[in-house]
Structure 1
Amino acid sequence: MTSPNQRFAGRTVAITGAAHGIGAATANRFLAEGARVAVIDREADGFAENLRDAPSDRLLTMAGDCTDAAVLADFHERTLAAFGPIDVLFNNVGQSGRERAAQFHESQEEVWRFVLEVSLFTAMRMSRLVVPGMRERGGRIVNMSSDAALVGDAGLTDYAAAKMGIVGFTRSLARELAPHRVTVNAVAPGAIRTRAHDRLTPAVIDRIKATTPAGFIAEPEDVAGVVAFLASEDARYITGQTLLIDGGRWMT
């Protein structure tokens, strides 16, 4: 019987956007539990810092832009060559408009397209690559949404639309794949302490805390633990769900 802390031994996990923050924390969580982990990120310099303790024989890193379909296909092929079929896919990569975000009446279509591309289309493309194999063997797909999809934060209309798109994609794909022993779920974090929060003013941070019932900002590891749960056998009967990790900011 597999030790509880090695429940992913012999499993192959692929994670997009994994050089920093939630992606890196989740990669470390899976590595700690015995998985072989393949990660891709445009900012590959973060791998050396945030995955520095990873066993080299169980980690594959690749630099690349996840919005490029050819790059994702290459990542998929490299993962298969190094570790074999993918058992768990975490579609983590995503981004708001950040400094280009704006109230809708002032927003730009080119920013909408970027946000949809990086937050929704990358998940669809990467899932399309792994689904044929998972239909044969079973597997787990976890998609990254956001509580912004449900709360509807002002100034994030494109991001909220993309992340609600993830919710719909998750539900439909879950129905298609359930007969094949594949679960598909989404996580929807709220305020998580990542590099994006470094650009926020103390006043904004205080406002976030004040509107979060738990009263604090979570760490990337808080999300990593939930992703690992959804990827485990403990969650074999959970599919098509969106699990909020936001300290109670949105309650369903």
Structure 2
Amino acid sequence: MLKGKTAVITGASRGIGREIALRFAAHGADIAAIYCGSRQAAEELCEQIRALGRKVLPYQCDVSDWENVKETVGKIQSDFDGIDILVNNAGITIDRLVPQMKEEDFERVLNVNLKGAFHMIRQTYMLFARKRAGRIINISSASGLVGSAGQANYSSAKAGLIGLTKSVARELAGRNVTCNAIAPGLIDTAMTREMNGQARERMENAIPMKRMGKPEDVANLAVFLASDLSGYITGEVIRVDGGLCM
């Protein structure tokens, strides 16, 4: 489905981003894997993708830093023959109730989760517009649709990402470039495994399907949105949440 395409994926070394990178590669895409933390995790991902016969290179980048993003996208352009797909998945959480949330905690989450996506889109926007083709996929969250207690910063960032998705979709629709958002619910990743056991059980019970999702549930949708099959879909926010927000 993605043969001959090059995909840039932020937050690619773990969780949902890692699964998206692997699924894209399995469907024929070459991967520019952007990570911020563990070089070892990024290299392990690259080894798996190379085993699938695809080209892959890791790039360490703080997406909240405009100059860092500009430099990284420039390197990707010189290393690959163009960019066809952008997946904005990089994200962090710093959870606290509003009275305990520091201003820098609020700003840091918005800078990575929302501003980081803006930086990546801004840096690749004209590449897509000039070639009159491209797919942009933003990984939002169910928290951006309904809000989550203790996550005012995260929910604000993910809601803002939905607004960014719709604005970019309108701007680029005439250039045959689509921009859509995926809103995962409770997904079984390293981050959710760190949750308090009782809190996790309460959340699972609130899901109509009575179970957590898997990273591949999100990745499978991302493959579809990145492919030619989704060419007439843009500006959409698609939930992958087991019915949590219906």
Same fold flag (TM > 0.5): yes
Gapped runs of 5+ residues in structure 1?
1-6
In structure 2, what is the equivalent of residue 83 of structure 1?
80
2:170 to 154, 163, 175: 175
Q: Is the 8 A contact 1:28 1:51 kept in 2?
A: no
In structure 2, what is the equivalent of residue 214 of structure 1?
209
Three-state SS of the structure 1 residue aligned to 2:238 is: strand
In structure 2, what is the equivalent of residue 202 of structure 1?
197
In structure 2, what is the equivalent of residue 25 of structure 1?
19
1:73 aligns with 2:70: yes
Gapped runs of 5+ residues in structure 2?
none
Distance in 1 between residues matched to 2:30 and 2:45, nearest whole Å? 16
Q: State the shift of 1:84 in Å.
A: 1.9
The RMSD of aligned alpha carbons is 1.2
Scaled by the length of structure 2, the TM-score of the pair is 0.95
Distance in 2 between residues matched to 1:48 and 1:216, nearest whole Å? 31
1:11 aligns with 2:11: no
Q: Is the 8 A contact 1:183 1:239 kept in 2?
A: yes
Q: State the shift of 1:96 in Å.
A: 1.8
Q: State the shift of 1:198 in Å.
A: 2.3
Q: State the shift of 1:57 in Å.
A: 5.5
In structure 1, what is the equivalent of residue 179 of structure 2?
184
Q: Is the 8 A contact 1:42 1:65 kept in 2?
A: yes
Three-state SS of the structure 2 residue aligned to 1:186 is: strand
Aligned ranges 1:43-58 → 2 under 5 Å:
43=37, 44-55=39-50, 58=55
Distance in 2 between residues matched to 1:172 and 1:12, nearest whole Å? 24
1:248 aligns with 2:212: no
2:105 to 82, 102, 111: 111
In structure 2, what is the equivalent of residue 161 of structure 1?
156
Distance in 1 between residues matched to 2:71 and 2:42, nearest whole Å? 19
Cα deviation digits, residues 207-235 of structure 1 (max 9, x gap)? 11101111111111111111111111111
Q: How many residues align?
A: 242
One-letter code aligned to 2:27 = E
Aligned ranges 1:131-146 → 2 under 5 Å:
131-137=125-131, 138-146=133-141
Q: State the shift of 1:67 in Å.
A: 1.8
Distance in 1 between residues matched to 2:101 and 2:230, nearest whole Å? 40
Identity %: 36
Three-state SS of the structure 2 residue aligned to 1:52 is: helix
In structure 2, what is the equivalent of residue 3 of structure 1?
none
Q: State the shift of 1:51 in Å.
A: 3.9
Q: State the shift of 1:105 in Å.
A: 2.2
